[in-house]
Amino acid sequence: MRRPTSDSLYLVIVLAPIVLLIALFIYYPALDTFGQSLTNRNLRIRRPPQAVGADNYLKLVNDAEFWEVTGRSFQVVLMTLPMEMVVAFSIAMLLNQRFPGRGVVRTLAILPWMLPGVVNGFLWGWLLNGEYGALNGLLYQFGLISEYQVWLRAPEHQVFWVTVVQTWTRYAFPTIILLAGLQSIPDDLFDAAKVDGANALSRVRFITFPLLLPSFGIALVVEFIAAFQIFDVVWTLTAGSSAGGSINPFTKTLMLYNYELVFRDLRVGLGAALSYLILLMSLAVGMIFVLRVYNQGVQDA
Amino acid sequence: MRLGLRGQERLRLAFIYILCAIVLIWALAPIYWVFVSSISTRKELYARPYKIWFPSQPSFESYQTIFTQGAKFRAGGFSPTADLMGAGLRNSIIISVGAAGIVTLLATGAGYAFARMRFPGRNLIFLLIMFMLPLPIWVSLIALFFLMSQLELIDTLLGLILIFVTLLLPLAVWMMTTFVRDIPAEIQDAARVDGANRWRLVYSIILPLARPGMVAVFLVSMLSTWNNFLIPLIFTRSNDSQPLTIVLTLFIGQYEVAWEDMSAAAVVTMLPPFIMALFFQRYLVRGLTMGAVK
């Protein structure tokens, strides 16, 4: 059967702008970035960039700062994910109960997720402010501290608070995923376990957890990507960077490092190489995600 | 002591509501505090130790200040940011509505094609769009910056809208594809038999049925664009195109700017997402979870 011409015309008109946009704005620049990663392009130095092969990559992997920043990114991921999952699982268990007003609580409980990351960083920065912050006010009022604390002073505290704010920003997503998982577990299973004399704790351990594993899987993949690419929250919470200023080294993660290399230091070649190292590091996790989405979008059709 | 059935139920509810209160404090306290800060007078807000949890004389002066004079410095005087807020608000609205509108149109047309038509390259194009999702954005951003400079699209609203439309495509196309796929095929088969061509079919059969999906795509796209910070950070220079997320960080950057003014700016920046989250949450959740939850 021949395809009617109106069909071909429809496909061209509908798909051409999309293909053009992603080709021009995503894939062509991605290739170009790779090309630049093989040069010593630096906008501070007035000379035509030369091809330097894999020098930039070697320079990065031999650079202590690269490993420090990479380590910090994984540290943020490793601190954020457990905190997030505990918060999300607890709230999902609560919202899975039947009680009047559940819808309202659910709506309000997932609100922070929908706010801009830079605002969230600002909110917490102000909350934790050492001079006038509400946390100091609250703790002082209840007599838990005898004088105001500068919560964001010590480097390790800064990283800790970054993960707290990232958790606050993102916990709603795993909560929703886990809640949907919980609601798909048939009540019969729990009833049967009750009859067999299983207590609440072992019901969670032997029924809820195993059946929630797929939901935890999705949530962990998505939240890994989110935490690994953290940027906005750090920017307003601890980066301490007005335009042109230097970026606080104690909470510098890979994305901030990349921004600094390219747009502060103007070392384009080196920054391009870094972006490809980041791509390599997140590829495995990313592929799991794409395949899942692909299977749902096209294969089942 | 034994409790009756009703007593047990009451105890259960009381326990649940205490836990709900803890959850809501965790979720909302930072938002409440920034709102309180924005309507407080300087004297009360800077009291040490702070113990007023609602201002005795709430005032919207800070909002007026940031829109008319720019932000106050703590030491007195105003930062040179008088028209930043107004321009930021205008830019945020234009960018987010523009990008969301365009991406909704594109995704609806494409969603139908991927869901209902067979053509060579279908799987390849779909995969190329979806592969953008986990791609760390820096890989494209660095060269894209130079491309945009050559096209003279740096610091323009058009440039921002084009970039956002592109970045929103995977989510939008995916949402519309799955949405159209869930519309029963029999409905359109009947129209095909009647001799309707693709355009008629999409316009008069699919569009009305796909409207909830389109609303979801529009709202999610608008929210993501409004909230985005990295793209305007790189591609804007002046208040010709800077959205509110950037303006807010400019205030923060001005070290001595008064907290009550910055709080007001933060409230303005998060107000539209806040309202959308309250009233359109069902749509947003559907989109933002990529169908992991129906």
Write out the CATH class of domain B84-288: mainly alpha
Query: Taking 70 as the threshold, does the pLDDT of residue A298 lie above it?
Result: no
Flag if A19 and B123 touch (Cβ within 8 Å): no
Q: Name which of A277-281, B112-116, B196-200, B282-286 the model is least confident about.
A: B196-200
Instruction: Out of B174, B250, B252, name the one closest to residue A297 (CB).
Output: B174
As a whole number of angstroms, the distance between CA B253 and CA B248 comes to: 9
Q: What are A39's strand-pairing partners?
A: A51
Query: Taking 60 as the threshold, does the pLDDT of residue A11 lie above it?
Result: yes
Contacts of B272 (CB under 8 A, 6+ apart): B92, B226
CA A88 to chain centre: 15
**Is A157 inside any structural domain?**
yes
Q: Name which of A191-200, B111-120, B284-293 the model is least confident about.
A: B284-293
Query: Taking 90 as the threshold, does the pLDDT of residue B252 lie above it?
Result: no
**Is A77 inside any structural domain?**
yes
Contacts of A17 in chain B (CB under 8 A): 106
As a whole number of angstroms, the distance between CA B106 and CA B162 comes to: 12
Query: Taking 60 as the threshold, does the pLDDT of residue B221 lie above it?
Result: yes
Query: Taking 90 as the threshold, does the pLDDT of residue A118 lie above it?
Result: yes
Contacts of A292 (CB under 8 A, 6+ apart): A218
- Please report the pLDDT score of residue A47 as a whole number: 83
Count of residues in chain A: 301
Q: What are B78's strand-pairing partners?
A: B72
pLDDT range class, residue B59, cuts 50, 70, 90: confident
As a whole number of angstroms, the distance between CA B221 and CA B218 comes to: 5
Query: Taking 50 as the threshold, does the pLDDT of residue B224 lie above it?
Result: yes
Flag if B174 and A293 touch (Cβ within 8 Å): yes
* Identity of the residue numbered A2: R
- Please report the pLDDT score of residue B246 as a whole number: 92
Q: What is the mean pLDDT of chain B?
A: 87
Q: What is the mean pLDDT of chain A?
A: 88
Cα angle value B67/A121/B42 (rounded, 5°) = 45
Q: What is the 3-state secondary structure (H, E, C) of A198-231?
A: CCHHHHHHHHHHHHHHHHHHHHHHHHHHHHHCCC
Which of A91, A114, A241, A254 to mutate to test binding with chain B, by most B CBs within 10 Å of its CB?
Answer: A114
As a whole number of angstroms, the distance between CA A268 and CA A274 comes to: 10
Q: What is the 3-state secondary structure (H, E, C) of A34-91?
A: HHHHCECCCCCCCCCCCECCCHHHHHHHCCHHHHHHHHHHHHHHHHHHHHHHHHHHHH
As a whole number of angstroms, the distance between CA A219 and CA A86 comes to: 12
- Please report the pLDDT score of residue A202 as a whole number: 84
Q: Quick: pLDDT tens for A48-104.
A: 888 898 999 999 999 999 999 999 999 999 999 999 999 999 999 999 999 999 999
The answer to whether A241 and A254 have CB atoms below 8 angstroms apart is no
Flag if B142 and A140 touch (Cβ within 8 Å): no
- Please report the pLDDT score of residue A296 as a whole number: 65
Query: Taking 90 as the threshold, does the pLDDT of residue B20 lie above it?
Result: yes
Query: Taking 70 as the threshold, does the pLDDT of residue B254 lie above it?
Result: no
The secondary structure of chain B in percent helix, strand, coil, rounded to multiples of 5, reads 70, 0, 25
As a whole number of angstroms, the distance between CA A66 and CA A62 comes to: 8
Flag if A29 and B115 touch (Cβ within 8 Å): no
Q: Note the pTM of the prediction, 2 decimals.
A: 0.90
Q: Quick: pLDDT tens for A132-190.
A: 888 888 888 888 888 888 888 888 899 999 999 999 999 999 999 999 999 888 888 88
Three-class DSSP category at B73: strand
pLDDT range class, residue B294, cuts 50, 70, 90: very low
Closest CA to B62 of B95, B90, B40: B40
As a whole number of angstroms, the distance between CA A16 and CA A22 comes to: 10
Query: Taking 70 as the threshold, does the pLDDT of residue B71 lie above it?
Result: no
* Identity of the residue numbered A110: I
Q: Quick: pLDDT tens for A246-289.
A: 788 888 999 999 999 999 889 999 999 999 999 998 887 777 76
As a whole number of angstroms, the distance between CA B195 and CA A114 comes to: 45
Contacts of A116 (CB under 8 A, 6+ apart): A232, B226, B227, B228, B229, B245, B269, B270, B273
Identify the domain containing residue A82 by its residue range: 55-299
Pinpoint the residues of chain B covered by CATH 1.10.3720.10: 84-288
More confident residue, A244 or B233: B233
The answer to whether B245 and B232 have CB atoms below 8 angstroms apart is yes
- Please report the pLDDT score of residue A243 as a whole number: 47
The CATH number that applies at residue A232 is 1.10.3720.10
As a whole number of angstroms, the distance between CA B241 and CA B245 comes to: 11
Instruction: Out of B30, B227, B234, name the one closest to residue A127 (CB).
Output: B30
CA of A154: how far to CAs of A151, A196, A234, B231, in Å? 8, 52, 15, 31
Closest CA to B180 of B161, B164, B162, B198: B198
Contacts of B276 in chain A (CB under 8 A): 114
- Please report the pLDDT score of residue B273 as a whole number: 95
Closest CA to B131 of B102, B101, B162, B169: B169
The answer to whether B253 and A83 have CB atoms below 8 angstroms apart is no
The answer to whether B244 and B273 have CB atoms below 8 angstroms apart is no
Query: For A43-77, b where at least 16 C-beta lie within 10 A, e where not — what string?
Result: eeeeeeeeebeebbbebbeeeeebeebbebbeebb
**Is A196 inside any structural domain?**
yes
- Please report the pLDDT score of residue B234 as a whole number: 94
Query: Taking 80 as the threshold, does the pLDDT of residue A206 lie above it?
Result: yes
| Percent of chain A topping pLDDT 90 | 52
Flag if B140 and A33 touch (Cβ within 8 Å): yes
Rama region for B76: left / alpha / beta (φ>0; ψ in -120 to 50; rest): left
The encoded tokens of residue A243 equal 């335009």
Flag if B128 and A27 touch (Cβ within 8 Å): yes
B171–chain A Cβ distance below 8 A for any pair: no
Taking CA–CA distances from B20, the nearest residue in chain A reads A105
Rama region for B169: left / alpha / beta (φ>0; ψ in -120 to 50; rest): alpha
pLDDT range class, residue B223, cuts 50, 70, 90: very high
The total number of structural domains that make up chain A: 1
Query: Taking 60 as the threshold, does the pLDDT of residue A293 lie above it?
Result: yes
**Is A270 inside any structural domain?**
yes
pLDDT range class, residue B155, cuts 50, 70, 90: very high
Three-class DSSP category at B23: helix
Taking CA–CA distances from A21, the nearest residue in chain B reads B166
Query: Taking 70 as the threshold, does the pLDDT of residue B75 lie above it?
Result: no
**Is A25 inside any structural domain?**
no
Closest CA to A291 of B282, B269, B166, B127: B127
- Please report the pLDDT score of residue B80 as a whole number: 63
**Is A20 inside any structural domain?**
no
- Please report the pLDDT score of residue A297 as a whole number: 60
As a whole number of angstroms, the distance between CA B85 and CA B82 comes to: 7
Chain B 132-151, CB below 8 Å of chain A: which residues?
Answer: 132-147
As a whole number of angstroms, the distance between CA B260 and CA B266 comes to: 10
Q: What are B72's strand-pairing partners?
A: B78
- Please report the pLDDT score of residue B78 as a whole number: 66
Chain B 85-104, CB below 8 Å of chain A: which residues?
Answer: none
**Is A24 inside any structural domain?**
no
**Is A9 inside any structural domain?**
no
- Please report the pLDDT score of residue A301 as a whole number: 41
Helix (H) or strand (E) holding B55: none
User: CB neighbours (10 Å) of residue A123?
Assistant: 28
